[in-house]
Amino acid sequence: MTPGTAGWTSTPIADVLRRRVVAHADARGAFSELWRASWTDPLGGRPFVQANLSRSLPRVLRGLHVHRHQADLWTVLAGIGTIALVDLRPAVAGATGAPPTVVLPVEAGDQVYIPALVGHGFYAHSELQLCYLVTNEYDGADELGFAWDDPDAAVAWPEREPILSDRDRANPPLADLVARLRG
């Protein structure tokens, strides 16, 4: 998975890649290639070992989440959404100032590769189905997060009063998470 290979393109955040899944259609329907074993984690060379499916109703916001050790490959299967990405790698390494942040509109057929220590979340404009492959099996100790509306992250979410889980509503400020990750 490198920019230019299989349609992968760079984003404003280093190592975050995106592509549009190619659909090969005929009179019967369509076929799309979502993943190949050769598409390992480009930063660590780790294979994807677990697949998850998230289904969200309109106005649901999930995030912002971050993993110390896990990379994700997200595929939007159905719906329209907004993905927010916040690069915590510079802050964890000691940099000060606002972290690099990008907001990407997505729809069915879009894929995004998210490396470890890049905070991520999404907002569902419509019913949204998101399949994500991950490089680590689920480990609750690596499930971290920070406030979806943290002013230091400055994510321009399309909704100011989204539907949130109790976990996401209780996430700490970004500065607290960065201090924990540095420690």
pLDDT tens for each residue of 77-97: 999 999 999 999 999 999 999
Phi, psi at 141, each rounded to 5°: -70, -20
Tell me: cis bond preceding 130? Omega within 30 of 0 counts.
no
CA–CA separation, 113 and 41 (whole Å): 9
Give residue-wise pLDDT tens across range 33-62.
888 777 666 667 788 899 999 999 999 999
132 a catalytic residue: yes
Question: Which of 65, 67, 120, 125 is labelled catalytic?
Answer: 65
Q: For the segment 97-154, what is each residue's pLDDT rounded down to a tens digit?
A: 999 999 999 999 999 999 999 999 999 999 999 999 999 999 889 999 999 999 999 9
Q: Considering the entire predicted model, what is its pTM?
A: 0.93
Instruction: Give residue 159's pLDDT.
Output: 95
**Active-site choice (67, 123, 125, 132):** 132
pLDDT value for 3 = 59
Among candidate residues 72, 117, 69, 70, the one with its CA nearest the CA of residue 93: 117
